[in-house]
């Protein structure tokens, strides 16, 4: 099945249209309106010479291209190639690579660009898994992670850059914006400028700037347009959207993405055919789900803000006009999304009482699904982050993270209202 059509012009279509059919031609699959799931681990070569050419293209090229002949499903397969093509179109990127999870995507990016003796800059807070990877196995191979105190402030970025440089050349800057779970904003363009400046000090070696775009998703933030080299997302969240698959993707220029696809082959972290199909099917309703969840979230956030048992709400729509965060948000993002945290008055006991009383919300980690989810960050998603760092970055025992789904907003508010009243 070819996934390449010369009349495919992603820039000529709206995301809603791209999400439904981009990159697929029914004539490639017996006229089937929907792409098939191709369950095969290996692909027959038409001739010995074609076999040699396929391997030459894959291994000697700049990086395996999306339209190369298929060899073996761990290297690439038609369903994944189609998903990557459509996802790249939604991201406004030249190319994308799909992975077995968001963490697999992050692992590939870090391993591709960091080597022993390097340092790595990162914003904070970070998703617990990313924090654990950077400060565990990546630190273990001799790479020093250094946090940027305030990624909206050029002086703070410079200070972190100087600290990191004392440990070794900065190989990569990892930016999670908005941050999980605080919705803290980083200025991508400013960080890209800092990477340019570092190139001058590191004999031309420019750190790769990668943005974890999981918290807002492709439809509300386009990191590549703001100077990121790579945009990473957990497909498990908004793109997958039904809390029934695990996947990840990285988008960027072909020259940046091709080597990640080749590394994925060595790590064995491709996205399998059935999950690729499921993710592609999910993309079709991505814009619809996003619009509904965002509208619901605005209503729920306003309810929480006005409730006497709630201390504060980190919904992006509430960023104060005139603040640096608001200015960057207005430039960088096209919506406030549907995942945010709020702090109740009290601590762990009060938070747990609220959680145990909810009936419509599911108490679970993850976000971006059709159903509304809630969890206590300090004891779940950020459990492995040391308590002093949690406190520094604003994740305390009263913090609850909430991901709003597509249910009726009145039912969500009624559920929260009753649970807030149940707090002793
Ligand atoms: C911001 C962020 N990045 C990365 C990940 C990891 O994604 P996955 O669970 O698909 O590996 C998550 C998961 O919650 C996340 O919230």
Indicate the pTM of the whole model: 0.95
- The whole-number pLDDT of residue 63 equals 53
Q: Are 185 and 302 within one domain?
A: no
Count CB neighbours of 39 within 10 A.
Answer: 12
Task: With respect to residue 13, please indicate whether it lies within any of the assigned structural domains.
Answer: no
- The residues, any chain, with a CB within 8 Å of residue 362's CB and separated by 6 or more, are 371, 372, 373, 374
Task: With respect to residue 10, please indicate whether it lies within any of the assigned structural domains.
Answer: no
Q: From the CA of 32, how far away is ligand 1's center (Å)?
A: 34
186 lines ligand 1 (CB under 6 A): no
Task: With respect to residue 128, please indicate whether it lies within any of the assigned structural domains.
Answer: yes
Q: Are 298 and 412 within one domain?
A: yes
Q: Which of 76, 127, 292, 397 is catalytic?
A: 127
Q: Are 295 and 226 within one domain?
A: no
* Distance of alpha carbon 174 from alpha carbon 211, whole angstroms: 6
Q: Are 229 and 111 within one domain?
A: yes
- The whole-number pLDDT of residue 61 equals 67
Task: With respect to residue 365, please indicate whether it lies within any of the assigned structural domains.
Answer: yes
Q: Are 311 and 229 within one domain?
A: no
Q: Are 330 and 207 within one domain?
A: no
Share above pLDDT 70 across residues of the chain, in percent, rounded to a whole number: 96
Q: How many residues does the chain have?
A: 424
Q: From the CA of 233, how far away is ligand 1's center (Å)?
A: 8
32-85, pLDDT tens digit by residue? Answer: 999 999 999 999 999 999 999 888 888 876 555 555 689 999 999 999 999 999
Top mutation candidate among 234, 338, 395 for ligand 1, by most atoms within 8 Å of CB: 234
| Shortest-distance Cα residue to atom 10 of ligand 1 | 102
Burial (0-12, 13-18, 19+ Cβ within 10 Å), 242: middle
Q: Which of 45, 72, 74, 345 is catalytic?
A: 74
* Distance of alpha carbon 152 from alpha carbon 282, whole angstroms: 34
Q: Are 308 and 405 within one domain?
A: yes
Identify whether 212 is a catalytic site residue.
Answer: yes
Q: Which of 235, 254, 270 is the last residue of a domain?
A: 235
> Two tokens at 33?
């309106």
Q: Are 303 and 197 within one domain?
A: no
Task: With respect to residue 86, please indicate whether it lies within any of the assigned structural domains.
Answer: no
- The whole-number pLDDT of residue 62 equals 53
Number of domains in the chain: 2
* Distance of alpha carbon 78 from alpha carbon 261, whole angstroms: 14
Contact 190, 325 (CB under 8 A): no
Q: Which of 170, 201, 235 is the last residue of a domain?
A: 235
Question: Residue 207 sits in which domain range?
Answer: 102-235
Q: From the CA of 248, how far away is ligand 1's center (Å)?
A: 8
Identify whether 28 is a catalytic site residue.
Answer: no
* Distance of alpha carbon 126 from alpha carbon 393, whole angstroms: 9
CATH for 189: 3.40.640.10
Task: With respect to residue 324, please indicate whether it lies within any of the assigned structural domains.
Answer: yes
Residue 401's beta-bridge partner residues? 341, 375
- The residues, any chain, with a CB within 8 Å of residue 100's CB and separated by 6 or more, are 246, 247, 248, 269, 270, 271, 272, 275
Q: Which of 235, 250, 274 is the last residue of a domain?
A: 235
Q: Are 121 and 201 within one domain?
A: yes
Task: With respect to residue 207, please indicate whether it lies within any of the assigned structural domains.
Answer: yes
- The whole-number pLDDT of residue 150 equals 97
Q: Are 297 and 180 within one domain?
A: no
The SS3 of residue 89 is helix
State the closest ligand 1 atom to the C-alpha of 381, by its place in the atom list counted from 1: 14
CATH for 319: 3.90.1150.10
Identify whether 74 is a catalytic site residue.
Answer: yes
> Two tokens at 192?
């890209």
329-375, pLDDT tens digit by residue? Answer: 999 999 999 999 999 999 999 999 999 999 999 999 999 999 999 99
Q: Are 213 and 312 within one domain?
A: no
pLDDT digit string (tens) for the chain, length 424 residues: 444 443 467 888 999 999 999 999 999 999 999 999 999 999 999 999 999 988 888 887 655 555 568 999 999 999 999 999 999 999 999 999 999 999 999 999 999 999 999 999 999 999 989 999 999 999 999 999 999 999 999 999 999 999 999 999 999 999 999 998 899 999 999 999 999 999 999 999 999 999 999 999 999 999 999 999 999 999 999 999 999 999 999 999 999 999 999 999 999 999 999 999 999 999 999 999 999 999 999 999 999 999 999 999 999 999 999 999 999 999 999 999 999 999 999 999 999 999 999 999 999 999 999 999 999 999 998 887 888 888 888 889 999 999 999 999 999 999 999 999 999 8
132 lines ligand 1 (CB under 6 A): no
Identify whether 45 is a catalytic site residue.
Answer: no
Q: From the CA of 102, how far away is ligand 1's center (Å)?
A: 5
Task: With respect to residue 108, please indicate whether it lies within any of the assigned structural domains.
Answer: yes
CA distances (Å), 313 to each of 37, 163, 181, 316, in order?
A: 43, 33, 11, 9
Q: How far apart are the first and last CA of the chain?
A: 61
Q: Which of 86, 237, 261, 262 is catalytic?
A: 237
Nearest to 317 by CA among 300, 153, 134: 300
Nearest to 108 by CA among 116, 95, 99: 99
324 lines ligand 1 (CB under 6 A): no
* Distance of alpha carbon 339 from alpha carbon 404, whole angstroms: 6
269 lines ligand 1 (CB under 6 A): no
145 lines ligand 1 (CB under 6 A): no
State the closest ligand 1 atom to the C-alpha of 104, by its place in the atom list counted from 1: 11
Q: Are 224 and 319 within one domain?
A: no
Backbone angles phi, psi at 345, to 5 degrees: -75, 120
């Amino acid at each position: 099945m070819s996934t390449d059509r010369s009349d495919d012009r992603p820039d000529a279509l709206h995301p809603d249209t791209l999400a439904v059919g981009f990159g697929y031609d029914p004539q490639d699959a017996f006229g089937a309106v929907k792409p098939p799931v191709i369950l095969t681990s290996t692909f027959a070569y038409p001739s010995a010479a074609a076999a040699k050419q396929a391997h030459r293209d894959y291994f000697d090229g700049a990086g395996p291209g999306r339209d190369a002949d298929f060899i073996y499903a761990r290297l690439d397969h038609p369903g994944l190639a189609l998903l990557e093509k459509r996802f790249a179109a939604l991201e406004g990127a030249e190319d994308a690579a799909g992975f077995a999870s968001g963490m697999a995507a992050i692992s590939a990016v870090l391993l591709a660009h960091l080597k022993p003796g390097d340092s790595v800059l990162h914003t904070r807070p970070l998703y617990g898994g990313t924090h654990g990877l950077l400060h565990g196995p990546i630190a273990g191979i001799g790479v020093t992670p250094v946090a940027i105190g305030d990624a909206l402030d050029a002086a703070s970025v410079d200070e972190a850059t100087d600290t990191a440089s004392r440990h070794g050349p900065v190989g990569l800057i990892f930016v999670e914006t908005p941050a999980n779970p605080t919705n803290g904003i980083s200025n991508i363009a400013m960080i890209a400028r800092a990477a340019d400046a570092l190139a001058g000090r590191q004999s031309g070696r420019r750190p790769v700037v990668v943005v974890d775009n999981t918290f807002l998703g492709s439809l509300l933030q386009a990191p590549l347009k703001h100077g990121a080299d790579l945009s990473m997302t957990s497909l498990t969240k908004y793109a997958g959207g039904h809390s029934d698959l695990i996947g990840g993707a990285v988008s960027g220029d072909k020259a940046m993405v091709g080597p990640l696809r080749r590394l994925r082959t060595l790590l064995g972290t491709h996205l399998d055919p059935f999950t690729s199909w499921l993710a592609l099917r999910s993309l079709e309703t991505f814009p619809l789900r996003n619009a509904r969840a965002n509208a619901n979230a605005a209503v729920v956030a306003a309810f929480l803000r006005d409730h006497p048992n709630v201390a504060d709400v980190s919904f992006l729509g509430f960023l104060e006009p005139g603040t640096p965060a608001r200015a960057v948000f207005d430039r960088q993002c096209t919506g406030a999304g549907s995942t945010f945290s709020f702090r109740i008055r009290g601590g762990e006991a009060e938070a747990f009482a609220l959680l145990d009383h909810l009936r419509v919300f599911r108490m679970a980690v993850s976000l971006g699904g059709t159903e509304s989810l809630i969890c206590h960050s300090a004891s779940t998603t950020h459990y492995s982050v040391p308590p002093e760092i949690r406190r520094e970055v604003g994740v305390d025992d009263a913090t609850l993270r909430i991901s709003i789904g597509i249910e009726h907003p009145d039912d969500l508010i009624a559920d929260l209202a009753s649970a807030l009243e149940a707090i002793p």
